[in-house]
Chains A and B, each alone.
Chain A
Amino acid sequence: MLMQNKFEDIIKQQVGEFQLTPNAAVWEGIEAKINKKKKRRIAFWLWSGLVGVSLLGIGYVGMNTKSDINSNNVKAKEIVKGNTNPSDSKKISNELSEKFRLSTQKETIEKALLSKKDLSVITNDKRINHHSKISITVKEKVGGNKQSLVLNKENKIDKEAIVDSVKKENITSSSSEEMTSESKTDSVSKKDTQQLVVLNNKQAEETISTKDTIKTEKKKVKIFFELGVGTFHTKATLNVNQNSTLDLSNATTSGSIASNNEEKLTANSKTGFAFNGGVLLQKQLSSKWQLLGGIRYVYYQDKQTIGNRYISTNYTDDGYIYSLGNKETKSNYTHSLQVPIRFNYLVGRYLKQDFHLAFGGNIGYQLKSDWLVNESNNNYLYYKNSLNRNLFGSFIIGINTTLKNDFIVSIEAEQAITKLQKNDKINGKYKALFLKVGIPLRK
């Protein structure tokens, strides 16, 4: 064994000192990769933060909404227990209106109304009229007269108006449909002082707008599942060296390369398709403004016609050199996870629908696979399939409307503000047009 070690010792001693000088490109490669990793780390933390903030936001809103409902239920129970004296009609009316103001949950309303022996809920649900106001139909248990309670868009019944109408000793409606000012004035009759108030839309709206004594309430947040399909188009330009060796003089056909080889090449891809799906939260900021935010996944795909592979000794390490004769179609695709932010502004009412102008943007992170024309170090033009991961941003403008069942239909145009690739030579941003449907998950 000792003898055997002698051979190993000599080898170890001699070979252990062996050294070679590496090519300078090795350090350049190390440097580039370290910097890339640093950027990736920053992007990772940025993205994680973004997702974290979104999730916290969703959680916060969700918890707040839940606690509102719970507190309303408690209040309703308190009303049931505490107010049975008919002489406290004004107080009871106020308490009930407060309850209505805070929630339109049917069961909560029902509990409150059933404590009044003379009233009960008869409609199965609430209705939303053409002014986006909610009407709830109740009837007297004795006599069976029907009444409509009209809440405004923010579920408010004006306290002052209630007091007024209690003083007038009841205003009732004979109709379970939305009230009009004419029908209201026609349907005044004497009833028990505990009867609730009927407001027509106009009256409620005017009262609310003129009385600043009304307490502000927490706005309700609606949650939507959003699905969309659309078209997608990319136009990329490449700044090339004038000495590029690929002859582009015959490149006049659609698809790959048009223009000339002097300064700029244009690669037009065929219009592709895109779809998206995600969850959006909608908050009513005022009577005209809504804020929407959430998270969504988007997939974009298009096809690009490029020349066939050119078999040459000038094959580059970066990709394939293509001739422009025969063509080949390649697919580009992008997976993207985005945080959309939208503002909706109520522009008006047409064809019995409220229309909103939507504007905002998307930020996110995307994984892309693109076939794009590129230029190698030795001035060869080639198509390169590159897989990129990068931060993404786009802005949108569109129009949307809310249907009777709370579904939202929208059309949105999207323009990317980030480049296709992190490449100084390639300039290209995509455009997309989406038709989307928002399905309410919770109203």
Chain B
Amino acid sequence: MVTSEKQLIADCLDGNHTAQKTLYQLYANKMLGICYRYTKTLEDAEDVLQEGFIKVFTRIHQFSGEGNFTSWITTIMVNTAIDYLHKRKKYRKDLNLDDLPIYMVSDDNPDINMDTKDLVEHIRNLPLSYQLVFNLVAIEGYSQMEVADILKTNINTIRSRYSRARAMLIVEIKKNELTQLNAYAK
């Protein structure tokens, strides 16, 4: 960890308002990108970001100082997002969605020639239960067992949701490529 970051955290621990704002400004964009991936609307993402940063500032004393601060703050955001989704009535049903029919894909590892924003939108367009599992496994790097533990769900359900989410995403990416080719041909 860079010394200036250490100092910043130490100042936040003392309740220094300027340090808190600086820390927020340093991480807000990246963290909103993460919150956005887990939610369905930008407003929800901003709500999660707000709740997450409040937790960061009130629990900053729990940060050991030895590990990576970005990882610590990311973990808080991800956990806040999961809690947020479970607390919202409108999402609760989607989180327990029964498994959809599996997609068959011809190319299991396609190249991705897509704008990052579009790729994120495709992830967000997945059914919520798939979106959650895909984010945790593919992007945050949790094992499927860990995700089963986090979401308090059966490991087989997680495996199934992940493979379906992956397949659905590949189909969407392929569709996108096809649309682009068609547009190019015209």
Contacts and interface: CB of A to CB of B under 8 A. Distances in A.
B32 A14 contact: no
Interface centre among B42, B45, B50, B116 (most CB of A within 10 A): B50
Nearest to B117: A18
B139 A11 contact: yes
A387 interface: no
A30 B50 contact: yes
B36 A7 contact: no
A44 to B, nearest CB: 14
Contacts of B33: 18-20
Nearest to B56: A30
B57 A23 contact: no
A15 B123 contact: yes
A37 interface: yes
Given A14-B112, A30-B53, A30-B57, A19 B138 contact: no
Contacts of A27: 21, 24, 28
B58 to A, nearest CB: 6
A6 interface: yes
Nearest to B115: A14
B109 A6 contact: yes
B46 A7 contact: no
Contacts of A31: 17, 21
Nearest to A2: B109
A22 interface: yes
Grouping DSSP codes into helix (H, G, I), strand (E, B) and loop, the A interface class, with mixed when no group exceeds half, is helix
Contacts of A4: 108-109
Count class of interface residues, chain A: 20 to 34
A21 interface: yes
Contacts of B49: 22, 26
B100 interface: no
Contacts of B58: 34, 37
Nearest to B24: A27
Interface in A128-146: none
For chain B, give the interface size range. Answer: 35 or more
B116 A26 contact: no
Contact of A11 (B17, B42, B45, B112): B112
Contacts of B166: 7
B54 interface: yes
Contacts of A18: 33, 36-37, 116-117, 120
Interface in B12-41: 15, 17, 20-21, 24, 28-30, 32-33, 36-37
A29 interface: yes
Contact of A29 (B15, B37, B50, B57): B50
B29 A15 contact: no
A350 to B, nearest CB: 59
B135 to A, nearest CB: 9
29 contacts: A3-B109, A6-B109, A7-B109, A12-B139, A15-B37, A15-B116, A15-B119, A15-B120, A15-B139, A16-B139, A18-B33, A18-B120, A20-B29, A20-B36, A20-B45, A21-B32, A22-B29, A23-B46, A26-B46, A26-B50, A26-B53, A27-B28, A30-B50, A30-B53, A30-B54, A31-B21, A33-B50, A34-B54, A37-B54
Interface of B: 15, 17, 20-21, 24, 28-30, 32-33, 36-37, 42, 45-46, 49-50, 53-54, 57-58, 108-112, 116-117, 119-120, 123, 137-139, 141, 166, 170
Which 4 A/B pairs are nearest by Cβ-Cβ distance?
A: A19-B29, A18-B33, A20-B32, A19-B33
